[in-house]
Amino acid sequence: MAQGQMAPGIVSGRLSSDELTSNFADLHPPLAPHEAAVAADRCYFCYDAPCVTACPTDIDIPLFIRQIQAGQPQAAAQTIFDQNILGGMCARVCPTETLCEEACVREAAEGKPVQIGRLQRYATDTVMATGEHPFERAAPTGKTVAVIGAGPAGLACAHRLAMLGHDVVIHESRPKPGGLNEYGIAAYKSTNDFAQAEVDWLLKIGGISVETGSVLGGTISLDGLTANYDAVFLSIGLAGVNALRAQGTDKDGVRDAVDFIAEVRQAEQLAHLPVGRNVVVIGGGMTAVDAAVKSRLLGAEHVTIAYRRGRDAMGASRYEQDLAASHGVRILTHVQPVAVHGTGAAAEIELEYTTTQDGKLAGTGETVRVPADQVLKAIGQTLEGAPEGLALDGSKIAVTGAGRTTLDGVWAGGDCAAGGDDLTVTAVAEGRDAAMDIHATLVS
């Protein structure tokens, strides 16, 4: 909110602690062993399985499901972790409905895919609950790598490098490691502080140290890192937020949705979190849906997602759109913000209806006003703090192959690098593959 103030309609305590606990319970409770066995029995164990092709980390899905079917969840988890060390979080947050499960033969034949995501969670949770780590480090190489950013790409890169015998120092600007998994995932998708538990478990490989409060361009520089480390991997994410081109966006009650989501994730007491009575979220992606649903779960009476194009163009999957609708969120399409109205604080937002002409979006001149004491901007994030000397591809760091930048000895991956699709699972794949390329370079 502007100048850190709070609009009059934004208050805490709209719901009781019991209601909030119920609202923020696990979106998809874990499968019991007998449920996992039944779900695994539905897999055809396809040869050249399309679900594997659809998985950005190339997990052998039929194999791990067969291992669950055989009563070996530990072996299934090993199959998953071999490709995706953050398989536990990905099982919770991956849009499986548009990836592996959409490609499932059962989905094509019956409209009901194998529950790949929930089976993956069953296997990974089984192993993580033991506290044991399934990998051992190779003999030390004497090489040290700096990883900038402790998000999914950085963690995956660090783990693979450590497993191969390198020493890794992760530099993280925030107080906690985890990146998007810690600060940006909806609280009802990752419960019980799972993000930090997963980081702690991952670090058991050894050879990885984490330095928080370490800011690229502030406390550390790329020149200094390249001088002191054998290689550098940049996974700095997207810290900036696109500007909302509308009047009145400086009013109290208008804020970035990513900050709102992070605030909810880090809250010790949900009952202390303020939320508007009438919330409007601008945008059509996953961030917009997460912010809208969280607003409803916190007690907002009316929540609207306002998106400039049609539902088919929304970045959020149809499943996520339906999830929002099931929580009472209204999705208003073909509208764009014109102005936020109110005296000092937001009271309503004026939206202009849009149309598409020759493939280009245009306003129609017709407007509608929607009550809004809180406006959350979820219109995309931008790269900030890219070091000088790095070539950009559009608005992101240009990379070739497995994350090689235009600077020798510097790799990049995750949301900050060009070519990805801003998914946790893709970031993991990019971090893992960059680590393999870094390793090949260091030992050659």
* Residue 47: CB atoms within 10 Å: 6
pLDDT tens digit sequence for 141-161: 999 999 999 999 999 999 999
Strands 278-282 and 396-397 turn out to be unpaired
Asked if residues 286 and 314 have their Cβ atoms less than 8 Å apart, the reply is no
Task: Note the pLDDT tens digit of each residue in 116-132.
Answer: 999 999 999 999 999 99
Structure confidence at residue 4 (pLDDT)? 46
- Could you tell me which residues are beta bridge partners of residue 282? 306, 377
Tokens read off for 124: 């990974």
Site of tokens 């049609």? 310
DSSP state of 406: S
User: Side chain identity at 214, as an amino acid letter?
Assistant: S
Closest Cα partner for 378 from 312, 315, 300?
315
CA dist 393 and 374 (Å) reads 35
Among residues 428, 432, 431, 418, the alpha carbon closest in space to that of 93 is found at 428
Structural domains in the chain, sorted by start: 2-24+241-377 (3.50.50.60), 33-128 (1.10.1060.10), 144-239+383-443 (3.50.50.60)
Which amino acid type is present at position 30? P
Strands 335-341 and 348-357: antiparallel
d(CA 424, CA 151): 9
pLDDT of residue 238: 93
What pLDDT is attached to residue 92? 95
Tell me the C-alpha distance between 42 and 39, whole Å: 6
Tell me the whole-structure pTM to 2 decimals.
Answer: 0.94
The backbone torsions φ and ψ at residue 144, rounded to the nearest 5 degrees and listed phi first, read -125, 135
Which residues of the chain are under the pLDDT cut of 50?
1-4
